[in-house]
Amino acid sequence: MKNQKKGNGEKYVRNGAPRKKSRGKKTVVLNVAILVVSLVLMTVGSVLVYADHLLGRIQFQEDPTVSSSRPQTSGVNSFEGMGDSKYVVNGLYHDDQILNVLLMGVDDYQANDTGRSDSMMMVSLDRRHQKLKMASFMRDIYVSIPGYHPNKLNAAYAFGGPTLTVQTIENAFGVDVDRYVIISNDSFRKIIDRMGGVTLEITNAEAKLINTYSGESSSKRLTGGMRHMTGRQAHYYSRIRNIGDDYERTLRQRKVLQALIDQFKTSDLGTINGILYDVLPLVTTNMSKNEVLSLAANSLTYLNYPTEQTRIPQDSDHKNQSVPGVGDSLIVDFKASHKHLVDFIYEENLSSSNSDGSSRESTFASR
């Protein structure tokens, strides 16, 4: 049956029903689309405003000296010989896919006292191999400190703060330190408490020391085993030197950080937001807001990377010695420690050759 027309010109379809005009439907769809886009923009805007407010709580610190050590496009030697992102810049090993952040715990107990870096741990976000890596630096390493007489590594912070500590580590071990984060003595336990404490396996000997010296109430006494610790307890646990000296001490510090990472993995978004709001003011860093925001945006991915740990120096790479005017120190084989650190962070074999046939180790050894 052919289409028919009525006298007023309205068309009929084959089944005899009139064909409706589509202008009204298009208007409704357009209005809904505008509403959805507006809601999305409002939501995104609110999130950005909140993120900016959250980031504003961090104590950001400009550090031109450290920033200037970051890779530049000129004067760079590529060991891969093909414009990848692995370079040695001014003698420092670097990979654009790996972010090295020096985490420093400072023992600033007294007012107006800069303190010393009681703990130093390089946290490497390795996006190339999709791993999180933690490398502790022993604080008693006898090392050259730019502009000062040789001393223990932790003295660098007292002499020149985080900038000098970064320079000292870079000079000693030939690895680029991209950024740093400082946690004061008082902030450490506050962060642990805001996270709800940490659960770790401890020995009876460790529990006894924690009960005696942590300052926690007697109602929260610990015994050996898998135990939940408060900020005071975890703080003292991280500082124990009477058991295993400084070697096991750095292991305890990495265990606490690992426990915090594991706890973050199982936290909901609301809990994480609340923790960040309270914790960020306790942190000082030379990261930019954009860098922190980028890390936060990808945190769920990064926190699920498998973790690896080590310490510098290894047992075979140092000897103990009393240095006049300094005290008991670690005399380190820096070339061996450099090789171990680079192998650990970058998973590179330093015995392989450059494109010009020279060894990768030669760059560091000549510094």
Phi, psi at 344, each rounded to 5°: -70, -50
* Whether pLDDT at 360 is above 80: no
How would you class 176 by CB atoms within 10 Å of its CB: exposed for 0-12, middle for 13-18, buried for 19 or more? buried
Give 350's pLDDT tier (boundaries 50, 70, 90).
low
E strands present in 13-68: 59-60
Query: 304 is written with which tokens?
Result: 């699920």
Contact between residue 259 and residue 198 where contact means Cβ atoms under 8 Å apart: yes
**For position 34, what pLDDT does the model report?**
60
**For position 91, what pLDDT does the model report?**
80
Mean pLDDT throughout 316-320?
A: 93
Residue 9 neighbours by CB distance under 10 Å: 6
| 125 vs 183: CA distance, rounded Å | 19
* DSSP 8-state symbol, 357: S
**For position 37, what pLDDT does the model report?**
61
| 229 vs 238: CA distance, rounded Å | 11
133-166 pLDDT per residue, tens: 999 999 999 999 999 999 999 999 999 999 999 9
Q: What percent of the chain has pLDDT over 70?
A: 70
**For position 349, what pLDDT does the model report?**
66
Mean residue pLDDT across the chain: 77
Contact between residue 220 and residue 234 where contact means Cβ atoms under 8 Å apart: no
For the ranges 13-22, 177-186, 335-344, which has the lowest average pLDDT? 13-22
288-314 pLDDT per residue, tens: 888 888 887 788 788 889 999 999 999
Contact between residue 311 and residue 340 where contact means Cβ atoms under 8 Å apart: no
* Whether pLDDT at 9 is above 80: no
SS3 of residue 328 by DSSP:
strand
* Whether pLDDT at 355 is above 50: no
Indicate the pTM of the whole model: 0.73
**For position 39, what pLDDT does the model report?**
53
| 284 vs 60: CA distance, rounded Å | 6
| 106 vs 114: CA distance, rounded Å | 8
Mean pLDDT throughout 177-198?
A: 86
240-267 pLDDT per residue, tens: 878 877 778 888 989 998 888 888 777 7
* Whether pLDDT at 326 is above 60: yes
Nearest Cα to Cα of residue 311 among 173, 182, 122: 122
Give 234's pLDDT tier (boundaries 50, 70, 90).
very high
